[in-house]
Amino acid sequence: MSGTPVYSPPSRLRIAAFAPIGEEGRTELVESRIVQAISVGAFTEGERLPSETELSALLGVAVVTVREALGGLRHRGLIETRRGRNGGSFVRPSHGSVEAVNARALMEMPRVALADLGVHYEAIAAACAEFACQRATPEELEVVAEILDDARDLERAPWRRRITEVQLELAALSQSVRLTNEHVRVQTEFTPLLALQDLDRAARLATHDALATQITATRARDIERARSAVRDGVRTSVRWLVAFRAELLAAPQSEAVHATLEARNRSR
């Protein structure tokens, strides 16, 4: 990979991705956090990750733990490290590798745990939607609506990043710091799985339409309709993921998983 490195300003996504791990700090957790950050679009192809020292401070783990995690990500083909003045660890253009990592995570997650994650996300997002109906201003909603409208025809990766931003902005309109922080935390955990759903264009459009319905309901201060839009959107996504998990588990060998993802990519 060559060319001028890409830099972007800090965002809510990045703050969530690198919240301190603390005493649970382990190489696997650091790897997981960085994979999540790439999956949600907090870092895109060609972007430089924070330095080892910066990651160590952000995540609350030792530099050697970060170094081992970055080595693992290099081995999996998700990042590359360059030497020199403008060096560092950069996200590689390897959506296939990220999809394979996320697919394996979906396969290893018990079905009941997947359903429970959906319930948790639905509960938090619906609560945020309710308070947003009471507290959001028309001007704030107009900004979020414009972000969503501009996203509809984007390619899959930038679409996911934009949609995640819309979901987090809608949560922030609740004007509850605790609810928003919990939404960000669960969103960061759930989005890598939701990114698999983006292989299905019809599913992407359904997600888009559910968010549009939520914004319309919030403008009308219709709490029940806003909560219903959240509920329907999350439950539709969980049903899709359960079905896709079963499809992957029917042929769990690496070659078969890769073939399934390739077939989905060709049909999108």
Predicted confidence band at 226 (pLDDT cuts at 50, 70, 90)?
very high
N-terminal to C-terminal alpha carbon distance within the chain? 26
Residues 30-50: tens digit of each pLDDT: 888 888 788 777 787 788 999
Residue 81 sits at φ, ψ, to 5 deg, of: -115, 130
Residues 260/248, Cβ–Cβ less than 8 Å: yes
Strand partners, 79: 91
Residue 38 CA to residue 24 CA, distance in Å, equals 21
**pLDDT score for 7:** 55
**pLDDT score for 268:** 58
Rounded to an integer, the average pLDDT of 95-99 is 75
Picking from 18-27, 137-146, 208-217, which range would have the lowest pLDDT averaged per residue?
Answer: 18-27
**pLDDT score for 198:** 87
pTM score: 0.76
Residue 113 CA to residue 99 CA, distance in Å, equals 20
Topology at the third CATH level for domain 26-91: Arc Repressor Mutant, subunit A (1.10.10)
Residue 96 in tokens = 């296939």
Residues 149-203: tens digit of each pLDDT: 988 888 887 888 889 889 999 999 999 999 999 998 898 888 889 989 988 888 8
How many alpha carbons lie under 13 Å from residue 107 in its C-beta half-sphere?
A: 16
Residue 152 CA to residue 150 CA, distance in Å, equals 6
**pLDDT score for 209:** 93
How many alpha carbons lie under 13 Å from residue 243 in its C-beta half-sphere?
A: 9
**pLDDT score for 164:** 87
CATH 1.10.10.10 segments of the chain: 26-91
Neighbour count for residue 241 (Cβ, 10 Å) = 23
Secondary structure class of 82 (helix, strand, coil)? strand
**pLDDT score for 24:** 54
**pLDDT score for 215:** 97
| pLDDT value at 207 more than 70 | yes
Closest by CA to 92, choosing from 58, 28, 49, 29, is: 49
Predicted confidence band at 4 (pLDDT cuts at 50, 70, 90)?
low
Name the strand (E) or helix (H) holding 91: strand 88-91
Residues 188/40, Cβ–Cβ less than 8 Å: yes
| pLDDT value at 11 more than 80 | no
Residue 76 CA to residue 214 CA, distance in Å, equals 38
Residues 130/227, Cβ–Cβ less than 8 Å: yes
Closest by CA to 89, choosing from 62, 72, 70, is: 70
**pLDDT score for 241:** 96
Residues 116-138: tens digit of each pLDDT: 999 999 999 999 999 999 999 99
**pLDDT score for 13:** 62
Closest by CA to 157, choosing from 39, 267, 78, 236, is: 39
Strand partners, 91: 79
**pLDDT score for 5:** 60
- What's the chain's average pLDDT? 86
Rounded to an integer, the average pLDDT of 18-30 is 68
**pLDDT score for 223:** 97
What top-level class would CATH report for the domain 98-266? mainly alpha
Residue 171 in tokens = 């949560």
Predicted confidence band at 249 (pLDDT cuts at 50, 70, 90)?
very high
Residue 116 CA to residue 98 CA, distance in Å, equals 24
| pLDDT value at 54 more than 80 | yes
Rounded to an integer, the average pLDDT of 16-37 is 72
**pLDDT score for 12:** 61
> Is the C-alpha dihedral spanning 217, 148, 231, 140 positive or negative?
negative
Residues 251-261: tens digit of each pLDDT: 888 888 888 88
